[in-house]
Amino acid sequence: MGRTLERVVRRLVVEGASMVPTYRPGERLTALRPWRPIRVGDVVVVRDPRDARRWLLKRCVDRRNRLIEVRGDNEAASTDSRDFGPLDVADVAYVVPRPRPAPLPRRTAPHEG
């Protein structure tokens, strides 16, 4: 079961500033194998097309059929589709699920007295 789970879930540590302010260097994330079609806005993990030993964490900013464009949220510090072009959706190895929104604080009735 451990090996199967590794194929579905990947734990990673953010390196570099390309996804600041969304994700900061040193932040730990859990990424999952794609379970649905990739959509604009998804944060994805892909192999660097220039160096297959490296993983890239980027946001999908455009999708046209099977091609996606990815960019870092901090474009000034990001190497992305502007540098290496669009990627095939099959190149997406993992997707970072969106965290659940924080619960709203409970409102309490004003005290009388």
Q: What is the pLDDT along the chain (113 residues), one digit of tens a residue?
A: 455 555 799 999 999 999 999 999 999 999 999 999 999 999 999 999 999 999 999 999 999 999 999 999 999 999 999 999 999 999 999 999 976 555 566 666 555 55
Beta carbons within 8 Å of 62's beta carbon, 6+ residues apart: 40, 68, 69, 86
Question: Based on the structure, what is the number of domains in the chain?
Answer: 1
Q: Is residue 71 part of a domain?
A: yes
CATH number where 54 lies: 2.10.109.10
Q: Is residue 113 part of a domain?
A: no
Measured in Å, how far apart are the chain's first and last C-alpha atoms? 60
Q: Is residue 32 part of a domain?
A: yes
Q: E strand or H helix at 103, and its extent?
A: none
Q: Is residue 74 part of a domain?
A: yes
Q: What is the pLDDT of residue 78?
A: 95
Q: What is the pLDDT of residue 1?
A: 42
Q: What is the pLDDT of residue 95?
A: 96
Q: Is residue 105 part of a domain?
A: no
Quick one: the chain helix, strand, coil %, rounded to 5? 15, 35, 50
User: Domain span at residue 36?
Assistant: 2-96
Q: What is the pLDDT of residue 107?
A: 63
Q: Is residue 110 part of a domain?
A: no
In this structure, the dihedral spanned by the alpha carbons of residues 17, 84, 28 and 2, taken in order and rounded to 10 degrees, is -170
Q: What is the pLDDT of residue 104?
A: 63
Q: Is residue 46 part of a domain?
A: yes
Rounded Cα distance, 86 and 83, in Å: 9
pTM above 0.95, yes or no: no
* Residue 29 structure tokens: 């994330």
Locus of tokens 């604009």: 40
Q: Is residue 10 part of a domain?
A: yes
